[in-house]
Amino acid sequence: MKGTRNVTLLIIGALVLILGVWGCSGYNGLKTADQGVKKVWSNVETNYQRRADLYSSVIKTVQASANFEKSTLIAVVDARAKATQVKVDINDPQTLQAFQQAQGNLQSSFGRLIASFERYPDLKTTKAFQDFQTQIEGTENRINVARQDYNKAVEKFNLKVVRFPNNMLAGMFGFKEKAYYKADEGSDKVPDIKFDIQ
């Protein structure tokens, strides 16, 4: 009788130890994946900031041209200000959507600015504009890679959140799936931005 009781206590103790180790490991895995998503998101933001800074240098070049259409320039300056003010909480899909929309508006207004350069050949031949052309291509590639890396990190995190048995821990500790960075609506169409310097 006493031996059976000891065996039962030993089994219960072993189960508690196994559950404790599993719980710590699962929780730490969720926290690690969560931090991974945050790190990769900061890379996305850094690349968007680089683009905003490049746009800013072109805006300064355009402002130096007294004859340039001020309304087009003002639209870009306003869109840039709005795009850099959006704060994203990666746990809130609505803030991510607002960020994407602000970035899309900036890119669209900047596209209109670039298209208007056709009427200002002197502006297109400035060194600042030529440097911009080179740098913006690399920056857009970096943004694309950063968004892909973010989506991979989100996928890894989300799988930890929804797969059994981690889904029980995720529910207990409040971990929820994160939103993916989605393509902008209409992004399947090629943008009409021309760099036609001669």
Q: How far apart are CA 141 and CA 148, in angstroms?
A: 11
Which range among 9-23, 80-94, 152-166 has the greatest average pLDDT?
Answer: 152-166
Q: At residue 196, does pLDDT exceed 70?
A: no
Of 8-12, 41-45, 127-131, 187-191, give the lowest mean pLDDT range: 187-191
Q: Do residues 101 and 83 lie in contact, with contact meaning Cβ atoms separated by under 8 Å?
A: no
Query: Using only C-alpha atoms, what is the Rg of the chain?
Result: 25
Q: How far apart are CA 46 and CA 187, in angstroms?
A: 22
What are the residue boundaries of the structural domains of the chain, listed by start? 32-173
Is residue 159 very low, low, confident or very high in pLDDT (cuts 50, 70, 90)?
Answer: very high
* Domain 32-173, second-level architecture: Up-down Bundle (1.20)
Q: Mean pLDDT score of the chain, rounded to an integer?
A: 80
The tens digit of pLDDT for each residue in 32-90 reads 999 999 999 989 999 888 888 888 877 777 776 656 667 777 888 888 888 888 888 88
Tell me the mean pLDDT in the region 150-156: 94
Is residue 127 very low, low, confident or very high in pLDDT (cuts 50, 70, 90)?
Answer: low
